[in-house]
Structure 1
Amino acid sequence: MKIAQVAPLYESVPPKAYGATERVVSALTEQLVAWGHDVTLFAAGDSKTQARLRATHPVGLWRDERVWDTTSHHLRQLDAVVRRSAQFDLVHFHGEPFHLPLQRYMSCPSLTTVHGRLLVPDHGPLYGAYPDAPLVSISDSQRKDTPHANWIGTVHHGLPLDAMRFSPNGGDYLLFVGRMMPEKGIERAVEIARRAGLPLKIAAAVHPGERAWFREEIYPMLEASQSFVEYLGEVGGETRLELFSHARALMFPIGWEEPFGLVLIEAMASGTPAIAFRRGAVPEIVEHGVTGFIVDDVEQAVRAVQKLGTIRRNDCRRSFERRFSAERMTRDYLAIYRTLLADPARGGEEWAPGDPMQA
């Protein structure tokens, strides 16, 4: 099958540190290539892939200090995709929805995985205007505000089996990894660590839109908590692997409807359980009492820290391998691709996980 994968240009594929969407696109792309498919990846020029790379900007936009208007770069990328669409059996979009007005005029079917949170005032009218756009959600929870969009499947994220480093023994610290933004609950993570009497390591990126909030509200809190909080900034490579594999638990005290939460399965792959708030896709990912604990508030989270000894790290790893591998994710997408190609006008009946699938 000739497939185009279109990644957002904010980060390289895979990302050097933070970048959940780009990490997933990389896992999918490389697995498709390994299984013999002819894949073209439209992504930033500093991406690393076995696929054919088509770049419209030399580096990830968030790594280029000259870039201010990211929209203009994504529009150039879209033009490159549309002009080459006759070369593919299918184009799989993962980024901004700029392509929706043009999908009807492309020379092959297209599919869009929606990676972000959906909001009724914004995305309701958007998908209402393009009812023929085939969409894939990354969790069932993600769909709840736009249930009438043209959903043709849900595919949970997956990662290569060797993406993380498994450790059978946890360390003596709690871990917070992700993007530094209000919805992620960094203040709650600090409070939980303080009350549980454990150190907290924070590896988090601060993007331009959150810099003022971080400087004025979060940095002073971190400075005042230096006795038990270590802020590492944005972390990648070997350091990131070590942080995950030796943490006692990943803290995921979100305050919004997170559509997935890739760090949850990265922790799982490392053998590290998660303590996660019951929001968004968390109940679809974390198996309560098996791969972590699902809690409703700070008090429950503190109690969950005391129960971490009941979680077996081998069970976390086994759950990752069974539910969240790149192979499983890629099989799921291939089934959807074939369904869509059989009926490009609609995508046929909605595919559901568990159907017979062959690579």
Structure 2
Amino acid sequence: MKIAQIAPLAESVPPKLYGGTERIVSYLTEELVRQGHDVTLFASGDSVTKAKLVPCSSIALRLNATVSDHIPHQIIMLEEVRRRAHEFDVLHFHIDLIHFPLIRDFADRTVTTLHGRLDLPDLQPFYRIFPDVPVVSISNDQRRPMPPVNWRGTVYHGLDKNVLAFRAEPIRGYLAFLGRVSPEKRPDRAIEIASQVGMPLKIAAKVDAADKAYWETVIEPMVASHPNVEFIGEIDEREKADFLGDAAALLFPIDWPEPFGLVMIEAMACGTPVLAFRCGSAPEVIEDGVSGVLVDTMTEAVEKLEWALKLDRRKVREAFERRFTAERMMRDYLEIYRDLPGVRTQAAAARRAVGERIDLHVA
């Protein structure tokens, strides 16, 4: 199958540091290539892939100091996609919604994975205008605020099972917080939990420009006033394996409808249990009492952390391998690709052509 993967340009594929969507695009692309599919990746020029790379910017836009507006660069990429759309059986978009008007003529052989939150009021009128465009959710909870649209399935994220190694015993035994410093991710809760249970906390997180004030006024003073808390900043994939693998547990104290939460399955891959607040996708990702513990309040989080710390790390890893590998994700997407109306029509036409050639040969 000839497949186009269209990635965001903000980060490379895979990202050098933070970047959940681009990481998933990378795992999916490489797994499709491993399975023998002809894959073309539209992404930034510093991306690394075994697929055919179409560089649509010289480097990831977030790392380019000369770029102040991402939209012109995204439009340039979409023009290249439009120009070459006829070359592919399936076009898989990971760029939210900017491409929807462009693909109307060939939408029946496209699918768009919606990677972000969908509860924002500005999105409702948009999706009502495009109810026919095939879309995929990354959790069932993510769908709740949406008007009727053309859902083709829910596909949970998956990781290459060899990227993050299992650790049977955490070497240092600290609590970990990984992701972004933002109000909805609630690093303040993580600090309070660690403080109340008397355990060290390491925070490896990105501070976006939009969250700088929150960092400076809320989190930075908390870090400074809690000697058991260490702020590390952004980390890369190699550092992540040690950071998560050496942790006794990952704290995921979110306060928003998290669409998926990639860090949860990254921790699970290391065998590290997750203490998560019951928001968004967390109840779908975490098997309560197996791969982690779900809580509803700060009091419950403090009380149940000990339970999470006692979970069998081998069973945590087994839960990851059973549910969240890149191979499983790839199979789910292939099933969706093959069921797209435009792809079914192409397949039927190809079968008819083969049959006609056989009939001519027999005659």
Considering the TM-score relative to the shorter chain, is it more than 0.5? yes
Supply the distance in 2 between the matched residues of 1:59 and 1:343 (Cα, whole angstroms): 33
Residues 99-144 of structure 1: CA distance to partner in whole angstroms, max 9, x if unpaired? 1011113497211000001025222211110111000000000000
Which residue identity does 1:218 align to in structure 2?
I
**1:129-168 to 2 correspondences below 5 Å:** 129-168=129-168
**1:50-69 to 2 correspondences below 5 Å:** 50-69=50-69
Supply the distance in 1 between the matched residues of 2:30 and 2:40 (Cα, whole angstroms): 11
Which residue identity does 1:15 align to in structure 2?
P
Alpha-carbon contact 1:86-1:107 (below 8 Å) kept: no
Gaps of 5+ in 2: 346-363
More displaced, 186-195 or 58-67? 58-67
Aligned to 2:359: none
Question: Displacement of 1:222 after TM fit?
Answer: 1.3
Aligned to 1:338: 338
Which residue identity does 2:300 align to in structure 1?
Q
Aligned to 1:186: 187
What is the total number of aligned residue pairs between the two structures?
Answer: 344
Supply the distance in 2 between the matched residues of 1:107 and 1:20 (Cα, whole angstroms): 25
Question: Displacement of 1:212 after TM fit?
Answer: 2.5
Aligned to 1:320: 320
More displaced, 303-312 or 277-286? 303-312
Supply the distance in 2 between the matched residues of 1:167 and 1:288 (Cα, whole angstroms): 20
Alpha-carbon contact 1:159-1:325 (below 8 Å) kept: yes
Aligned to 2:351: none
More displaced, 57-66 or 301-310? 301-310
Amino-acid identity (%):
49
Aligned to 2:201: 200
Aligned to 1:303: 303
Aligned to 2:215: 214
Aligned to 2:233: 233
Which residue identity does 1:185 align to in structure 2?
R
Supply the distance in 1 between the matched residues of 2:316 and 2:17 (Cα, whole angstroms): 23
Alpha-carbon contact 1:82-1:106 (below 8 Å) kept: no
Q: CA RMSD in A?
A: 1.5
Question: Displacement of 1:314 after TM fit?
Answer: 0.2
TM-score scaled by length of structure 1: 0.93
TM-score scaled by length of structure 2: 0.92
Distance 1:52 1:108, change over 3 A: farther
1:23 to 2:51 alignment:
no
Larger radius of gyration: 2
Supply the distance in 2 between the matched residues of 1:96 and 1:158 (Cα, whole angstroms): 19
Equivalent residue of 2:231, what SS?
A: strand
Aligned to 1:224: 225
Aligned to 1:81: 81
Question: Displacement of 1:68 after TM fit?
Answer: 1.3
Alpha-carbon contact 1:88-1:108 (below 8 Å) kept: no
Gaps of 5+ in 1: 346-359
